[in-house]
Amino acid sequence: MWLNFSGGRALVTGAGKGGDTVKALHALGTAVIAVSRTNTDLVSLSEQCPGVETVCVDLGDWEATERALGNVGPVDLLVNNAATLLMQPFLEVTKDVFDRTFNVNLRSVVQVSQIVARGMIQRGVPGSIVNVSSMVAHVTFPNLAVYSSTKGAMTALTKIMAAELGPYKIRVNSVNPTVVPTAMSQKALTYPDLARKLKERHPLRKFAEVEDVVNSILFLLSDRSASTSGSGILVDAGYLAS
């Protein structure tokens, strides 16, 4: 399926550890703004993708985010990928972990999407927003009470955004992956047999590859999904069917 993003401008959060989406958009001729709180990751990304704009900011800080992105300029495509995974059993959840997780995983989605959507509306142009969620928005795993709650809330937020921004021709969708081979996902596999048992629960007997998630993001960003909004693509190797 041929995708054409040339002439557009995309903003991708969580681009330091999630640079594959930036690389894919860059390869398709998109001007990309990569946002991360880790400057070394952004430097590496800039070397791999010459011309990519970089913004170093902690999206968990509302005021710093406003300063960094408030005048970001025209954006046509937005990928809300930034997230943090801090594992705690429910009875041990602390205020700091709760606040930090919700600030990064959910509040930043609201703030960055407001900035981008207001710009789209002022310019009178259509746009597409993709929120990177997780299959744990729908299923439970031990020690992920707070993280799962942010992703469950993201499901509702995606639908609300789609409903309110739809009249402005702005589409909003999500992707909900299973475990992918990233540093963050590995945090959830701290027990020796968990990875094996979890993989066996997937009908395809595999986890998702990063490329699988990126391809779903690109589809939802593109005009190939022009009639899709308020939806979520499960990239879960069939887990929810098991």
The residues annotated as belonging to the active site are 147
Host H or E run for residue 120: helix 108-123
**DSSP state, residue 232:** E
- Cα–Cα distance between 119 and 103 in angstroms, integer? 23
- CB atoms under 10 Å from CB of 125, counted, come to 15
